[in-house]
Amino acid sequence: MGNTTTVFGGTGFLGSAIVQQIVASGRPVRIAARHPARPAWAGDDAAIELATADVRDEASVARALEGTVAAVNAVSLYTESGGNDTFHAVHVEGAGRVARLAQDAGVRRLVLISGIGADTASPSSYVRARAHGEQSVRAGFPDAIIVRPSVLFGPQDAFLSNLARLSQLPVIPLFGRGDTRLQPVLVDDVAKAVAHLTGSADPASPLFELGGAQVYTYREIVKQVLAHLGRRRPLIPVPFFLWRALAALARPLPNPPLTRDQVLLMQPDNVVGDEVGTFADLDITPRSLEESLPHCLEPASREAKP
């Protein structure tokens, strides 16, 4: 396995798509996660190894990196549930640990998956942790490539599935007036880009922002999903301060349906910026939500069928 790439978070939504793209390009992969599992699509001959690793644990990360030529960190933590599962432990210390140990192990290429909008001055502790995580990765592995996707969608995703669930309500509450601009990007397009970046070609930039073919307002996306599902619902603007109040009320619940960070994430636009690497630098033409929706979400008329 001399050409192996370790994918931390390789069982996740994006991580598993990255694993599939790397294997499809003929290179071996090591999936590293706390509960690693061989993907259902992988035949017996697919060059996939499993490593049990927690980015909060030094020894397990070092083992997962042994003998690998490249590494990807696609680990996520979206909500803090108490104990050691904090944004700082996973996105700052954990990301920094992977970077430092990758450098020590002589790994040639490291890709960190972050997110558009990472900012140390954000009011969101999640967004601040992503920005501090980028800094700790650069400190540990100066040549690391940082990839910031916009909101990801695909079959069995969280984004479209949540909108489909929301569309069952008699009215659809919008975040503010629904004017926030997003650039939804197909998970397979991002995975293709990351697989390319783990290869031997020199990257065009140390920082990539990856968005889909088209920018939409949140309102336009909701309308598109409703039309696809064949549902007509009134869209009701709900001010952000009310969403924040709802998130505060939901906070004591064991699995809150909404967190303050999720509300804060919906306030600024989430689109590809200037002076960053993009899909164009990788010769990849990203697809739009419009063209991909039929492959990602069952129309409502077929949802109930077995």
Ligand X SMILES: NC(=O)c1ccc[n+]([C@@H]2O[C@H](COP(=O)([O-])OP(=O)(O)OC[C@H]3O[C@@H](n4cnc5c(N)ncnc54)[C@H](OP(=O)(O)O)[C@@H]3O)[C@@H](O)[C@H]2O)c1
Candidate segments 10-18, 22-30, 174-182, 260-268, binder of ligand X by CB under 6 A: 10-18
Q: Is 194 among the residues that bind ligand X (CB under 6 A)?
A: no
Rounded Cα distance between 218 and 179, Å, is 6
Stretch that binds ligand X, among 3-11, 198-206, 231-239, 298-306 (CB under 6 A): 3-11
Position 55 contacts ligand X (CB under 6 A)? yes
Query: Bridge-partner residues for 110, per DSSP?
Result: 71
Build a one-symbol-per-residue string for 61-90: x at contacts with ligand X by CB under 6 A, - elsewhere. -------------xxxx------------x
Q: Chain-centre distance of CA 99, in angstroms?
A: 18
What Å distances lie between residue 68 and 5, 86, 91, 151, 178, CA to CA?
A: 6, 28, 22, 29, 45
The angle, 0 to 180 degrees and rounded to 10, between the axes of the packed helices 13-24 and 187-197 is 50
Q: Is 14 in the site for ligand X (CB under 6 A)?
A: yes
Q: Nearest 5 degrees, angle CA 42-CA 184-CA 119?
A: 105
Residue 35 touching ligand X (CB under 6 A): yes
The radius of gyration computed from the CA coordinates of the chain, to the nearest angstrom, equals: 19
Q: Name beta bridge partners: 208.
A: 147, 277
Residue nearest ligand X by beta-carbon distance: 12
Nearer to ligand X, 4 or 11 (CB): 11
Report whether 140 contacts 103 (CB < 8 A). Answer: yes
Q: Is 12 in the site for ligand X (CB under 6 A)?
A: yes
- Phi, psi at 247, each rounded to 5°: -65, -40
- Pick one of 113, 160, 163, 289: the residue that binds ligand X (CB under 6 A): 113
Residue 83 C-beta: closest distance to ligand X, Å = 11
Please report whether residue 140 would count as binding ligand X according to CB under 6 A. no
Supply the minimum distance, in Å, between the C-beta of residue 134 and ligand X.
Answer: 11
Judged by beta carbon, residue 46 or residue 300, the one nearer ligand X is 46
The residues of the shown chain that bind ligand X, judged by CB under 6 A, are: 8-9, 11-15, 33-35, 53-56, 74-77, 90, 113, 115, 149, 151-152, 159
